Amino acid sequence: MEPGTERALSGVRVVDLSQFEAGPAATQLLGWLGAEVIKVERPGGGEQGRRARRRPDGSDGLRWMLLNANKSSLTLDMKEPRGREVLEALLRKADVLVENFGPGAMERLGFSEERVAELNPALVYARVKGFGAGEFEGFVSVDPIAQATAGAMSLTGPPDGPPTKVGMNVADAGTALHAAVGILAALHHRTRTGLGQVVRVNLQDSVANMCRVAFAQPLETQVASARTGNSYNQSAPSGLYPCAPGGANDYCLIYTIITEPEGTRQWHGILRAMEREDLRDDARFATAAARRQHSDLVDELVSAWTRGRTKREVMRELLAQGVPAGAVNDTLEVIRDPDFIARDMVVEVEHPTQGPLTTVGMPITLTASPAPTAPAPELGAQTEAVLAGLLGLAAADIESLRAAGVV
């Protein structure tokens, strides 16, 4: 199919009241797909994530910008009556509303689910929270709390060590994806019914869903799944193996399976790569079970080979033999990876005040719908355009709102 110019979500308008990461990452994804995303922020400072991530000179920090590409920014004080009137007018013209304030905040502002439905029965109202219904639903949460309470930390780390937080913000990023999927489903439902609905997602449930396979053992045996570190499936070799020149991340992860005959075929591939096919018929390594029994010796043999090669060399040689393997790339290596750059996972954008900036691009490719990356907006940069162009406010009315500090 030939690439087109029509964006996948063209014509969809999103009012983004979210802050920090889970909500902004969801709306950024919708913006990449072509939705018009209007980010509503507090006058003077912006949403909390923007304020917390500023550079020493006061300009927006890249960490905030990485979560807010492809949006416009409207400043609006929703605590003021006139500000709430503007938001009501905006919601009447919107398709989606996204918020991730603390529990009860939207209700205190006068935007309960019932009120929003009155304003616009076709609106999809996405609500991102820390906890779902239950004992803790009235409390806020953050990424590591969700990892702890959803089981992820209990699964992460070495078997003889404490539970460990995953290095990336898996709860925020995962919840953002769940929110986007829910919003898209609700929009599709609206095409058949004409009605919007509330989409509820929370950090804890999203992490639990991403731990789904780990629940097989407790569901079957009533015994919790254990931490296994970098080992997989009780197979050998499996895990991290040291590589040259011995830096902090100079490792290659090698993955073999315990299922036969696939596991032994992978072992034979490793032997070919190591030029040790003399071990092919060695009884200590002849089966997956035997290799597991002699895992220390297996690891010793493989490590002796990997130490003489870089992690990329090990990865290439094993992949060529049909063995799953991956170099442990640090974040700097990732953004310099020519393959990432070639497929626009790392892109350069022109920021209106900071000039050329390198950022992370869109991870989804649609063959007929482009998804370019636009820089994150300056605070309030599109306020007048939204108020005048979309809501039809006169210049005098906009100036009155500015004078009162509402925008």
DSSP 123-181: -EEEEEESS-SSTTTTS---HHHHHHHTTHHHHSS-TTS-----SS-HHHHHHHHHHHH
How many Cβ atoms are within 10 Å of 404's Cβ, its own excluded?
12
* Contact (Cβ atoms closer than 8 angstroms) between residue 78 and residue 43: no
Phi, psi dihedrals of residue 232, rounded to the nearest 5°: -135, 135
In the chain, the amino acid numbered 96 is V
- The answer to whether residue 172 is catalytic is yes
Helices (H), 309-366: 311-320, 331-336, 338-342
CA distance 385 to 398: 10
Copy the structure tokens of residue 378.
């300056």
Three-state SS at 253: strand
Phi, psi dihedrals of residue 198, rounded to the nearest 5°: -95, 135
CA atoms within 13 A on the CB side of 27: 36
CA distance 385 to 104: 31
Residues β-bridged to residue 98: 16, 126
Helices (H), 194-310: 203-210, 216-221, 262-274, 288-293, 295-306
* Contact (Cβ atoms closer than 8 angstroms) between residue 70 and residue 28: yes
Catalytic position from the list 60, 95, 172, 250: 172
Residues tagged active-site: 172
